[in-house]
Chain A
């Protein structure tokens, strides 16, 4: 039974429960609505809630737990000899899962009979050809133990799914009956339903915490795994980034320093573009512009913030890069070799950050009380003197916060650097040279068929961890500063 149908069945049980509960409540009050504690629909909702919520919870838990059980069972079937040199049990298990899925699909599409698929003595080459004919992806010839494991995987999964369906449906019916038994005129259905809804609301709000926990755990575990096979000191202090994809990455040098250098260099260029332009734009919009100019220029600038970063990436790679090469390249000044460089990525990222800096600064400048301006104008100061000597000093903490937020954006930006900065990790001062960043390397280490056991893939998690810690630190400091600033004028 597919999940989709199971889902519908639970919903159907809940719906029937709702109708029955509502009817029962009405009849228990002898048709007198006013004799009920709550509105009839609350009695129905109580039954529906008791039917659906526990059933769905069970369903989710079962779905999460079953693969663990099946994997550990199947893993025992694979002899160590099956695990080839340079491979790992996880990879073989993945192969088993692929084969099992292939069998499943082949049976469903009619390329194999059920008996054939579960026949333990089936001819392997025959199975392989049939799988291939059925359009299933099979990497290589399936070996006997893998086939057996795959068949076992299939049968365990289908048995598991069967029991799951039974259990979930029973729980749903049981819950509905429980709810129906409660349904009497004096039962406080509304309070119960509202308690349940409140629990759902709390659950929804807690997803933010769960997400953070998920991020931290997925980074921490994989990073720890990485540091088990690659020394942490070499990672943090290594000056060379040279992953070797051949073998198990034994000869890889995975030092983060060149990546951090590239990241900070590009971010610096981006901020050098975005902060002055964004700040001056904000000052003009807040202090000088007539409301008509403001209402056209501000949304136009903010379009820049709504454009996806992939667009900026392409802009860097195909427009800005070649343009810079034509000026600084071999035909021009001769200090730029290719279109991808720190300058390319930094400039484009700066453009992307202009509206970010300007709208944050705009808010902050507007938060400076009008009384400050009046005081200054009343003394005969010009607008620029007021801005420079009164407003900016007063708004400084807020603007620092905004710049830190922009810095955190720049450090975490991915697509622009992937396309615009180049792929070579380099420690150089020349901004026209290609360099790479932490985010770009996370993408390149984790795309493609990465083997999650090798250091060249696991290093991405350590990079991600570094990125997360740096941006989180910046954000916390920035948000703290901005909040303190807001409180000052509230």
Chain B
């Protein structure tokens, strides 16, 4: 092959630029600097993620640490026998309850002495620990005279300060003497704990109870507002699932390309970003002012939350409908099904897991929403009891979990804060359950085309 033509500027020609050889093994200064910048940049990224996770951890820690005490309560358990003579004597006294209290303190003293404890206490201290006991005791024996003379177990709720002491909310360092609790009382509490008179038990009342007055943080429970949330979610589910699916089917399968469709699309994407409080204003003005629906009713709350979650549900439903490949539609249409039949018989069932997942996540979002509920009157103190029946569950004034938490957080008494954190645990348990169901649904039925 020596007969090839050679032009003047052949590659081998000496005129071509000769580079100095730079070894790849030698890292130059600039590269070193650039690599340092690279490492810094990467560290910022890791730092950002760690900060985010750190906040998550702090949040989880505070919720658990502050909220767990709401699930326990401190009781004073005293075995106490009242003889017929004592009963008669007490009933003759001018200050009857006072007499009962004296008997009670006597019994308590004996119990303590038996366990080898000797801490001086008076009735004032007892009152600070458990409140007025005499009334409770008298009530019990008056209505159960047959129990006279027999030992009876009394379970009395300890005061919220004692509760706080047991939970570590109140310590010897932070306590200041007040009419609620004095430093010396803590010795009594310790002695009573030692004697197993003061015990910590699970607070069922918090799970099942209703909101209490501002002066009784110990008796407050979240049960009634859980029921309120439940009825609201029923309304949201019953309305938003069919409406959301119908709207999505229309937009995804039937809607022609025209201005009306565009208008709907623009509305949906904007409504998804409208602040939730504006939906509260809508509910107040339209459902309560205009339609005269009952105030504070879960029905109205459900309607407001439905309007709020519809855009979310429509967006996720459309995504699941879009994920069904067109070949399925073509196959159904090809054997003579109408478009409506193709959609309802073939596309919709295939999209259903995705739709359900989206709906559950939408419901979870609605369950945690607070602001609009406050405007339509579903504040915590409304939740004073359980509704009378199924229909009443929708129409009788009630609260919802987040609104109840807000009400507790807004109260002045610190003891309610514990309830608020506890309420958050209950709320998060519900949200977690819903999310896990959604994840399981997605994992189980996810289909890759």
Q: Does B46 contact A (CB under 8 A)?
A: yes
Chain A window 80-118, contacts with chain B (Cβ cutoff 8 Å), 1 for yes, 0 for no: 000000000000000001000000000000000000000
Q: Which of A206-214, A249-257, A326-334 contacts its partner?
A: A206-214
Interface residues of A in 207-232 (CB under 8 A from B): 207-209, 211-212, 214-215, 217-219, 221-222
B282/A214 in contact, CB under 8 A: yes
**In the complex, what distance in Å separates the CA atom of A385 from the CA atom of B47?**
19
B366 CB, nearest partner CB in chain A, Å: 10
- Tell which of A4, A303, A452, A467 touches B277, judged by Cβ atoms closer than 8 Å: A467
Is the CB–CB distance between B52 and A301 below 8 Å? yes
Interface of A is mostly: helix
Please give, as numbers and ranges, the residues of chain A lying within 8 Å of B34 by CB-CB distance.
Answer: 382, 385
CB interface residues, A 267-320, toward B, < 8 Å: 276-281, 283-285, 287-288, 297, 300-301, 303-304, 306-311, 313-315, 317-319
Tell me whether A173 is interfacial, beta carbon within 8 Å: no
**A387 in the interface (beta carbon within 8 A):** yes
The 8 Å CB contact of B49, one of A203, A301, A318, A476, is A301
Q: Is the CB of B275 within 8 A of A467?
A: yes
Question: A-facing mask of B204-222, CB < 8 A → 1, else 0?
Answer: 0000000000000000000
Q: Which residues of B contact A383 (CB under 8 A)?
A: 38, 41-42
Q: A211-B310, A355-B52 are in contact. Are A461 and B270 (CB under 8 A)?
A: no
Return B362 CB to nearest CB of chain A, in Å: 12
- Residues of A in contact with B, size category: 35 or more
Query: When the two chains form their complex, are residues B268 and A208 in contact, meaning their CB atoms are under 8 A apart?
Result: yes
Q: Are B275 and A280 in contact, CB atoms less than 8 angstroms apart?
A: no
CB closest residue in chain B, given A308: B368
Q: Does the CB pair B417–A318 fall under 8 Å?
A: yes
Contact B275 A414 (CB under 8 A): yes
- B58 → chain A closest CB, angstroms: 7
- Knowing A198-B254, A314-B424, the reply to whether A411 touches B48 (Cβ < 8 A) is no
Question: A411, B307: Cβ atoms under 8 Å?
Answer: no
B45 touches A288 (CB 8 A): yes
Cβ contacts under 8 Å, B276 to chain A: 412, 414
Contact A414-B424, Cβ < 8 Å, known A201-B249, A280-B47:
no
Interface of B is mostly: helix
Q: How far, in whole Å, are A358 and B52 apart by their CA atoms in the complex?
A: 10
In the bound complex, residues from chain B placing their C-beta under 8 Å from that of A317 are 409
A259 → B minimal CB distance (Å): 13
The distance from the CB of A273 to the nearest CB of chain B, in whole angstroms, is: 9
Which of A19-27, A140-148, A367-375, A442-450 forms contacts with chain B?
A442-450
CA distance A362 to B345 in the complex (A): 37
Q: Shortest beta-carbon distance, A379 to chain B, in Å?
A: 13
Does A176 lie at the interface of the complex (its beta carbon under 8 Å from any beta carbon of B)?
no
- Given A205-B255, A412-B278, also A405-B273 (CB < 8 A): yes
Taking a contact as CB atoms under 8 Å apart, the answer to whether A277 and B51 are in contact is yes
Interface centre among A2, A204, A310 (most CB of B within 10 A): A310
Interface size on B, residues (CB 8 A): 88
B100 within 8 A of A: no
- Stretch of B3-11, B90-98, B157-165, B284-292 that contacts chain A: B284-292
Interface residues of B in 149-169 (CB under 8 A from A): none
* A468 vs B279: C-alpha distance when bound (angstroms): 10
Q: Which of chain B's residues have a CB closer than 8 A to the CB of A319?
A: 58, 62
Task: Say which residue of B242, B275, B374, B391 sits within 8 Å of A447 (CB atoms).
Answer: B374
Q: For the complex, what is the distance from the CA of A118 to the CA of B270, rounded to whole Å?
A: 51
Choose one: B59, B277, B281; the contact of A218 (CB below 8 Å).
Answer: B281
Distance, CA A307 to CA B59, complexed state (A): 10
Cβ distance B7 to chain A, nearest Cβ, rounded Å: 31
B275 contacts A413, C-beta separation under 8 Å: yes
Interface hit among B135-143, B350-358, B427-435, B441-449:
B427-435
Nearest 3 interchain pairs by C-beta: A412-B275, A308-B368, A284-B45
8 A-B pairs, CB-CB below 8 angstroms? A212-B270, A221-B285, A310-B406, A311-B59, A314-B424, A319-B62, A382-B38, A475-B270
Given A211-B310, A471-B275, output 19 extra A-B contacts at Cβ < 8 Å: A64-B291, A204-B246, A204-B247, A218-B282, A278-B48, A284-B44, A303-B56, A307-B368, A351-B55, A358-B52, A408-B275, A439-B275, A442-B281, A443-B371, A443-B374, A447-B375, A472-B274, A475-B273, A479-B273
Q: Which residues does B use to contact A, with CB under 8 Å?
A: 34-35, 37-38, 40-42, 44-49, 51-53, 55-56, 58-59, 62-63, 66, 242-244, 246-247, 249-251, 254-255, 263-264, 267-271, 273-282, 284-286, 289-292, 307, 310-311, 314, 338, 340, 364-365, 367-371, 374-375, 377, 379, 391, 402, 405-406, 409-410, 417, 420-421, 424, 427-428, 431, 435
